Chains A and B, each alone.
Chain A
Amino acid sequence: MNALRDHALWRQFVAVVGCAVVAVVVVPAFGSDFAIAFGFQFVTWIVLALSWGLFSGNTGYASFGHGVFFGIGTYAAAAVFRHSDAPFVVVLLAAGLAAGALALVVGLAVFASSRFSGDLFGLITLAMAFVVVTVVSNVAFLDGGTGVFVREHTVGSWAGSSTSHLFVIATGLAVLAAGVAIATSSTRWGSALRSIRDDEQVAESLGVPTYRYKVLTFVASAVLAGLAGAPQAIYLGYVEVGAVFSLNIPLLVIMMTILGGITRWWGPLIGAATVVVLREVLLDVGSPELSQIILGAALVVVIALLPHGLSGAIPRRRGARRVPALEGGAR
Chain B
Amino acid sequence: MSLLRCHGITKRFGGVKALSEVDIEVTAGEIVGLVGPNGSGKTTLLSTIAGSLPVTAGTIEFDGRDITRASAHRRAHAGIARTFQVPRPLGSFTVEENVATASMFGRHATGRTAALERARGVLDAVGLAAHAAQEVGSLTLHERKFLEIARAVALDPSLILLDEVLGGLNPSEAALGMDLIASLRERGMAVIYIEHNVRAVATLADRMYVLNQGQNLANGTPAEVLNDPRVIEAYLGGPVDA
CB-CB under 8 A from B232, the residues of chain A are none
A102 within 8 Å of B (CB atoms): no
CB-CB under 8 A from B214, the residues of chain A are none
Which residue among A187, A201, A202 has the maximum number of chain B CB atoms within 10 Å of its CB? A202
Interface size of A by Cβ–Cβ distance < 8 Å? 31
Asked whether B73 lies within 8 Å of A209 as measured between CB atoms, the reply is yes
B45 within 8 Å of A (CB atoms): no
Q: B92, B106, B112, B133: which contacts A207 (Cβ < 8 A)?
A: B106
Alpha-carbon distance between A208 and B106 when the two chains are bound, in angstroms: 8
A195 within 8 Å of B (CB atoms): yes
> How does the 8 Å CB contact mask read for B34-52 relative to A, with 1 for contact and 0 for none?
0000000000000000111
Q: Tell me which residues from 200 to 253 in chain A have a Cβ below 8 Å from any Cβ of chain B.
A: 201-211
CB-CB under 8 A for A194 and B73, given A208-B101, A325-B112, A325-B116: no
Asked whether B90 lies within 8 Å of A199 as measured between CB atoms, the reply is yes
Q: A-B contact count, CB below 8 Å?
A: 92
Nearest B residue to A326 via CB reads B113
Asked whether B104 lies within 8 Å of A201 as measured between CB atoms, the reply is no
Interface of A is mostly: helix
CB-CB under 8 A from A194, the residues of chain B are 90, 92-93
Alpha-carbon distance between A325 and B77 when the two chains are bound, in angstroms: 25
Alpha-carbon distance between A277 and B75 when the two chains are bound, in angstroms: 50
Q: Tell me which residues from 296 to 331 in chain A have a Cβ below 8 Å from any Cβ of chain B.
A: 319, 322, 325-326, 328-329
A7 within 8 Å of B (CB atoms): no
Asked whether B93 lies within 8 Å of A207 as measured between CB atoms, the reply is no
Nearest A residue to B106 via CB reads A207
Q: Tell me which residues from 100 to 119 in chain B have a Cβ below 8 Å from any Cβ of chain A.
A: 100-102, 104-107, 109, 111-114, 116
Nearest B residue to A202 via CB reads B88
Alpha-carbon distance between A317 and B143 when the two chains are bound, in angstroms: 27
CB-CB under 8 A from A188, the residues of chain B are 104, 111-112
Asked whether A207 lies within 8 Å of B105 as measured between CB atoms, the reply is yes
A322 → B minimal CB distance (Å)? 7
Alpha-carbon distance between A201 and B88 when the two chains are bound, in angstroms: 10
Q: A201, A206, A322: which contacts B102 (Cβ < 8 A)?
A: A206
B164 → A minimal CB distance (Å)? 16
Alpha-carbon distance between A191 and B102 when the two chains are bound, in angstroms: 11
> How does the 8 Å CB contact mask read for A28-61 relative to B, with 1 for contact and 0 for none?
0000000000000000000000000000000000
B151 within 8 Å of A (CB atoms): yes
Alpha-carbon distance between A329 and B100 when the two chains are bound, in angstroms: 15
Asked whether A199 lies within 8 Å of B88 as measured between CB atoms, the reply is yes
Asked whether A204 lies within 8 Å of B72 as measured between CB atoms, the reply is yes
Q: B73, B82, B106: which contacts A210 (Cβ < 8 A)?
A: B73
Nearest A residue to B91 via CB reads A198
Asked whether A204 lies within 8 Å of B52 as measured between CB atoms, the reply is yes
Asked whether A207 lies within 8 Å of B102 as measured between CB atoms, the reply is yes
CB-CB under 8 A for A329 and B114, given A194-B92, A207-B77: yes
Alpha-carbon distance between A322 and B112 when the two chains are bound, in angstroms: 10
Which residue among B81, B82, B109, B113 has the maximum number of chain A CB atoms within 10 Å of its CB? B113
CB-CB under 8 A from B84, the residues of chain A are 202, 205
Alpha-carbon distance between A207 and B151 when the two chains are bound, in angstroms: 11
CB-CB under 8 A from B81, the residues of chain A are 205
Nearest A residue to B111 via CB reads A2
Asked whether B71 lies within 8 Å of A204 as measured between CB atoms, the reply is yes
Q: B71, B90, B111: which contacts A195 (Cβ < 8 A)?
A: B90
Asked whether A191 lies within 8 Å of B97 as measured between CB atoms, the reply is yes
Q: Beyond the given A194-B93, A206-B155, please list 11 additional residue pairs across the A-B interface where CB-CB is below 8 A.
A: A186-B112, A191-B93, A191-B100, A191-B104, A199-B90, A202-B90, A206-B105, A206-B151, A207-B105, A208-B105, A328-B113
Q: Give the interface of B toward A (CB within 8 A).
A: 50-52, 71-73, 76-77, 81-82, 84, 88, 90-93, 97, 100-102, 104-107, 109, 111-114, 116, 133, 151, 155
Q: Give the interface of A toward B (CB within 8 A).
A: 1-3, 186-188, 191-192, 194-195, 197-199, 201-211, 263, 319, 322, 325-326, 328-329
11 contacts between A and B (CB under 8 A): A2-B114, A3-B112, A198-B91, A201-B88, A202-B90, A206-B151, A206-B155, A208-B101, A209-B71, A326-B113, A329-B113
Query: Which 9 A-B pairs give the minimum distances between C-beta atoms?
Result: A2-B111, A329-B113, A207-B76, A207-B105, A204-B72, A198-B90, A207-B106, A206-B102, A208-B105
